[in-house]
């Protein structure tokens, strides 16, 4: 499910937090997808000033996010604007990754691919073979526009010109993501000014908090302009959590100011501002509980109650009977999943608009790799599929 194209619409509807699903995914996946969503939200915030950030600062990724280069089977908005024909991937449960282009030529142990994207040694590539199954190989080496496959004694795959090729493991991209991949910075404005006894630096962050550092210093006229050096020295925030947005300079003429003095004032002001931010932070108060009554008196296994704390919570809110979760005490029968996605609809067997050339005998079953069978039940009045235990 990819809803980056609809973030502004969701924000207008009142959504104030987006959860990035990363269950069973590695840290590289989470970094890439989170950075992609963050940049999409950033574009909205720049254009729509009525939206306010929930926290200070902004994150700057050290790479170019691309959700196509992480685990995916294609993308869908999943019923955001009603039922569509592109929410399922019958081809494979595995990741097909990034589309690289069609195969142009096949040689002994190598292929050429039409397209502008570069392959690297160690990449993983895949394609759907003639029987519709996903088949994959590792790239052994790349020489010019030839991609040599690591076959480990196997025969050359049945690739032909025109076969669409995908990259489901991008080694170079994974290396980038394995390192420190983002920096969070808080914007500050700096005022450098002349005072009777010397010079002063005032640093104000984007939340309006300020800190000042001053030094007594003998004033000397400068023979050359000093503005550029002042801005350069004051802008060196290094590994601090701040990022200079603007430097304002107020001097009575050109003054010679040593870089060492500018650096000292910047460091003092930075340390003071960090201290001010910590001291001014107030943890949000916990909202008062109205102790509402839960809308049902009996909670079945669908409540997913796995521990004593959850059971106590529901009982404190008026639930009189609480059954164990499905995983803790499996019932003899029941629904384990309600789905808006419907296999009958996807196969052209929807009772509201059936395909006459498609026939099927019910009940239908899902069969897992370990041989377990799950019966499917269809509530056509709700356009809902139910997976039964």
> What rounded mean pLDDT belongs to the chain?
90
Q: Where are the domains of the chain?
A: 4-69, 98-176, 184-280, 298-388
Residue-wise DSSP of 348-382? T--TTS--TT---PSSEEEE-TTS-EEEEEEETTT
Closest among 136, 242, 125 to 183, alpha carbons compared = 242
pTM to 2 decimal places: 0.78
Give φ, ψ of 290 to 5 degrees.
-90, 0
- With a pLDDT cut of 70, the percent of the chain lying above it is 99
- With a pLDDT cut of 90, the percent of the chain lying above it is 63
pLDDT in tens, 302-333: 899 999 999 999 999 999 999 999 888 877 77
The two counts, helices (H) then strands (E), for the chain are: 7, 17
As its CATH architecture, domain 98-176 has: Beta Barrel (2.40)
Sequence-separated contacts (24+) of 352-361 with Cβ below 8 Å: 352/380
Coil vs helix vs strand at 335: strand
pLDDT band with cut points at 50, 70 and 90 for residue 226? very high
Classify each residue of 322-359 as buried b or exposed e, where b means 16 or more C-beta atoms within 10 Å of its C-beta: bbbbbeeeeeeeeeeeeeeebbbbeeebbeeeeeeeee
CA atoms within 13 A on the CB side of 362: 10
pLDDT in tens, 11-62: 999 998 998 877 788 899 999 999 999 999 999 999 999 998 888 898 889 9
């Amino acid at each position: 499910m990819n809803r980056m194209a609809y973030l502004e619409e969701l924000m207008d509807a009142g959504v104030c937090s987006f959860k990035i699903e990363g269950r069973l995914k590695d840290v590289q996946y989470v970094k890439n997808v989170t950075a992609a969503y963050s940049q999409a939200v950033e574009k909205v915030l720049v254009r729509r000033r009525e939206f306010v950030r929930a926290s200070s600062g902004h994150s700057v990724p050290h790479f170019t996010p691309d959700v196509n280069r992480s685990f995916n089977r294609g993308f869908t908005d999943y019923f955001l604007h009603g039922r569509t024909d592109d929410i399922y991937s019958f081809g494979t449960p595995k990741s097909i990754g990034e589309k690289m282009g069609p195969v142009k030529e096949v040689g002994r142990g190598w292929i050429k691919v039409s397209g502008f994207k570069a392959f690297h040694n160690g990449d993983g590539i895949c394609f759907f073979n003639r029987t519709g199954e996903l088949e994959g190989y590792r790239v052994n080496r790349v020489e010019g526009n030839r991609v040599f496959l690591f076959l480990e004694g196997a025969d050359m795959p049945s690739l032909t010109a025109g076969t669409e090729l995908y990259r489901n493991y991008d080694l170079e991209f994974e290396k980038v993501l394995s390192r420190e991949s983002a920096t969070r910075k808080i914007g500050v404005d700096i005022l450098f000014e002349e005072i009777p006894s010397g010079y002063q630096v005032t640093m104000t962050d984007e939340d309006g908090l300020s800190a000042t550092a001053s030094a007594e210093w003998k004033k000397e006229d400068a023979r050359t302009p000093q503005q550029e050096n002042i801005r350069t020295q004051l802008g060196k925030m290094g590994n601090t959590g701040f990022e200079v947005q603007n430097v304002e300079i107020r001097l009575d003429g050109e003054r010679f100011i040593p870089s060492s003095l500018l650096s000292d004032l910047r460091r003092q002001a930075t340390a003071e501002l960090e201290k001010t931010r910590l001291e001014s932070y107030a943890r949000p108060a916990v909202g008062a509980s109205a102790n509402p009554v839960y809308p049902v008196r009996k909670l079945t296994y669908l409540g997913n109650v796995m521990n004593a704390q959850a059971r106590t919570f529901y009982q404190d809110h008026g639930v009189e009977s609480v059954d164990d979760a499905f995983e803790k005490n499996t019932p003899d029968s029941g629904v384990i999943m309600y789905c808006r996605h419907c296999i009958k609809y996807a196969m052209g067997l929807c009772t509201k608009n059936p395909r006459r050339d498609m026939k099927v005998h019910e009940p239908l079953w899902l069969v897992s790799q370990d041989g377990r069978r799950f019966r499917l039940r269809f509530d056509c009045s709700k356009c809902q599929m139910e997976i039964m235990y």
